[in-house]
Structure 1
């Protein structure tokens, strides 16, 4: 689902489902009533005058041919309408989420112009749909009016010839009017059905995504030890190579740092370790078993993640910690804060564990959110801890406290540390240097300084910056 934009997904979940719901709950019932009414009127007309009824019956295949001719045009324009609505939702979501950046760079006029542009596209798509319906519906009404004229003309001749009475013609014309009313209603509903079908296509493109297999029971898939192996792994995003023939072995319980320039593939390596993706070529092994043979929930059940951009959910601090371990008591959570040397941080929060963090943690600073993510990751008692530049938003003093606590807490756990600040990599068992998707060197800090020009440049730059 990551290939879809957030606003597009929201539009499918809300706008498109509303369109389908309206068609199912209202249009289907209305169409059923119209069909029953039309059939009833047709039966009565056949009883009154089979000859005049033939004129009406000629209209039905003509109406079908017209509807068939317009169907593809309707489907095409309504699909465009759904896409433009999704673009409006995406733009709105993106602008609201980034409102601080927009205001900081005084880009309100630009965002207003861009939003006006996507709204204009949405209006144009709706006008095209209205134009096609504006041709289709009058054509249906014109055919009905033509049927009326034919009935009055031929029926009048029959009355003059004495073949039917005037009363029969008047009654037939009344039933014909009642017959044409539901036909016109069905033409209007055809518009709604085509809109619903276009929306349903977008919904089912999401529902057709292959779901992840359910987790295996513990006796079939025991808890992993944490040994990871990447064997000639190749991976790409949308055709752009990110990892190229990566081979790497991480023993269970090892503390491994991955360093390299931006775009080298460090975070992708961590994503493959969590089986958020599968490699295009090669394989990733967990305890000697190809991860593709293990359901993703089993792989992730014992993984703790501290992301580069801290992500919290609306609720309390305790609620966010329990995302990793729902059974933890408040006392156990407090004990974990203390183990990490974060007791003072917890005591500074207005209501301690019951402090509301706000939407996406808006009531906390970035550093405070990162600390909560740290505790959440360790609350799971993970066999594999992934730290994606986890201390980037933490001050030096707090980082030192966490570093001391991690030495004890990471003992016996495999840890994969994505490091931009190289000081976080120095205490690792070994360091992996990635460059342009390839493993350039593996070793300890002292070794890499002498034999990896890239690592040496990274260290020199950070020393200069410091």
Structure 2
């Protein structure tokens, strides 16, 4: 820092001058206030369904062809009963032709072209049946290809939806993940999207063909017999009323089903990730009991949703059977009266079946569609979440590492100020140590440099450029960060070290590993640098994982280095070695070091002491000890004495006076 310590303290608000405010609780990326529990609300079905179908927009041309093919296939299918009715009339006419002419009513003989004694015209019958077979085969092929096109369009739409969710997650601010349980979010982007895919795949094509079938059948029923058509249509309003009543009740249960699924997944993920801790504290029974409770809640919601929606299909079948009986009776009476032929009645009975079957299918698919829309709404909640501010277009030139905070204010909760009017400057190549009690805002300070959170006031500049004016990737590519919580992905040790610099050579990777003492334990592993670390990192120790993350930062060679308790998981001897590596790593670059072990930051150029989001002291190690202020108290609490011996109870050597407690040494 170019300014003197005294000048710098004058530039920073002293603690006494800071306005009184409630103390914020622990600092770190998870500082954000816990998010509110989602309020249970009923699904807004139609708008959500419309939005879901809107994702099929890019497939308009394919869907238009599919609709055309569906129309052709359904048209051919609905012609089938008429043709088969004609075949029935040929057989019936041939049968009547063998009867005496006096027994055949003249109008029936004229309508069926009965020739006395001619018998069944098998040539004509064969032509009719062959025509029916050809029509049914063509209809099947057309509808098969139509289903192929629709399913392809659905899968491409779901593919785009997954990409949208992935891109959205990358645009969400860190505060969103602070409030969202990981298992719940994973359930939304995996289970819910899969459920949307299955629901659309199993319903969309069938719904299209079912609706076209109903329209085609209604037209043909009026062509055959308007009276019987009116009787058949009486069931439509009854079907709509029953489906609507059951659907409203089951939709709420489907919403609860997928909500409880997400909660159960979140619990399982949390319990599995911390299963060692659960065993250590003997909480297995409590965790199991919590699981049973959530599982029972999910069971009740799932069972209720499936049971209620499952009553639609038997209800539709009952109505369809009643309709079938009525049509059969009325049709038989009209045949007896001579107003309809037997073939027409047979065709109409087939049409009545073709009419009620798609209605039953639509009703039975209602539960699938409701479940899919319920899942889609959960996905839409992610897509509609507030994003981080738009990327700026500024340019960050070659970075020297000068960082300046200018009257910065920030809070996770508007009602709980954390950092107010903070100003400081870190010059290139300086090591700035940040110390203070838990919740003082240490990690928050470096998170603001990384733009994990946006400022409420003031600005932060790097080499004179406001970091809010440059793209986040451009900023973060100049910064290396080693966190207290290590993160390794499933892959080799070599790949994990090279994560921050994919184009690094093997020699550079090994050099970084040697500098950070990773090389010392890698050779004891079976496959060396090619050893695969599992997802939990259980095949390497916590300290070894932390060394790998330090090597990763070393290899990236950043202009600005942030170390957040980077040696908290290593043993004392290794810490000394790593400190030497850190000294080499910090050379010629600006470094922000957060530390609770004050012994690790004695050689820092400047030490900032934070409390309640404000810098209350700053200076070098010796300067701060001489002032006997906050830093002195922190240092004294760590190094004054490991064990205090009460003077009255301490044994006196050789019967002499009690031994006094060791004094603070620097």
TM-score by length of 1: 0.90
Asked if residue 396 in structure 1 is aligned to residue 577 in structure 2, the reply is no
Indicate which of 424, 430, 439 corresponds to 2:615: 439
Q: What's 2:462 paired with?
A: 286
Report the alpha carbon displacement of residue 113 of structure 1 after superposing the two structures with TM: 1.1
Distance 1:390 1:138, change over 3 A: same
Asked if residue 269 in structure 1 is aligned to residue 451 in structure 2, the reply is no
The 5-angstrom pairing of residues 312-331 of structure 1 reads 312-331=488-507
Indicate which of 605, 612, 632 corresponds to 1:429: 605
Report the alpha carbon displacement of residue 451 of structure 1 after superposing the two structures with TM: 4.5
Deviation string for 1:45-84 (max 9, x for gaps)? 1211123323434443554455445555443221211111
The 5-angstrom pairing of residues 86-165 of structure 1 reads 86-145=262-321, 147-148=323-324, 151=327, 163-164=339-340
The alignment partner of 1:394 has SS state of: coil
Q: Structure 2 unaligned runs (5+)?
A: 1-175, 643-666
Distance 1:148 1:464, change over 3 A: farther
Q: Distance in 1 between matches of 2:269 and 2:227?
A: 62
Q: What's 2:205 paired with?
A: 29
The alignment partner of 2:452 has SS state of: coil
Residue range with higher mean Cα deviation, 316-325 or 246-255: 246-255
Distance 1:241 1:133, change over 3 A: farther
> Is residue 488–residue 537 contact of structure 2 (8 Å, CA) maintained in 1?
yes
> Is residue 441–residue 610 contact of structure 2 (8 Å, CA) maintained in 1?
yes
Q: Distance in 1 between matches of 2:321 and 2:516?
A: 82
Report the alpha carbon displacement of residue 115 of structure 1 after superposing the two structures with TM: 1.1
Asked if residue 46 in structure 1 is aligned to residue 228 in structure 2, the reply is no
Q: What's 1:335 paired with?
A: 511
Higher strand share: 1
Q: What's 2:408 paired with?
A: 232
- How many residue pairs match? The answer is 464
Distance 1:190 1:239, change over 3 A: farther
Q: Distance in 1 between matches of 2:461 and 2:604?
A: 21
Distance 1:343 1:44, change over 3 A: closer
> Is residue 223–residue 302 contact of structure 1 (8 Å, CA) maintained in 2?
no
Q: What's 2:397 paired with?
A: 222
> Is residue 214–residue 297 contact of structure 1 (8 Å, CA) maintained in 2?
no
Distance 1:338 1:65, change over 3 A: same
Distance 1:408 1:109, change over 3 A: closer
Deviation string for 1:327-364 (max 9, x for gaps)? 11111122223334555344444433222332232111
Q: What's 1:186 paired with?
A: 362
Q: What's 1:171 paired with?
A: 347
Q: Distance in 2 between matches of 1:186 and 1:465?
A: 78
Indicate which of 517, 534, 539 corresponds to 1:363: 539
Q: Structure 1 unaligned runs (5+)?
A: none
Deviation string for 1:359-386 (max 9, x for gaps)? 2321111111111111101111111111
Report the alpha carbon displacement of residue 391 of structure 1 after superposing the two structures with TM: 1.1
The alignment partner of 1:248 has SS state of: strand
Distance 1:329 1:89, change over 3 A: same
Deviation string for 1:366-412 (max 9, x for gaps)? 11111111110111111111111011112222222222333333122
Report the alpha carbon displacement of residue 285 of structure 1 after superposing the two structures with TM: 2.8
Report the alpha carbon displacement of residue 138 of structure 1 after superposing the two structures with TM: 4.5
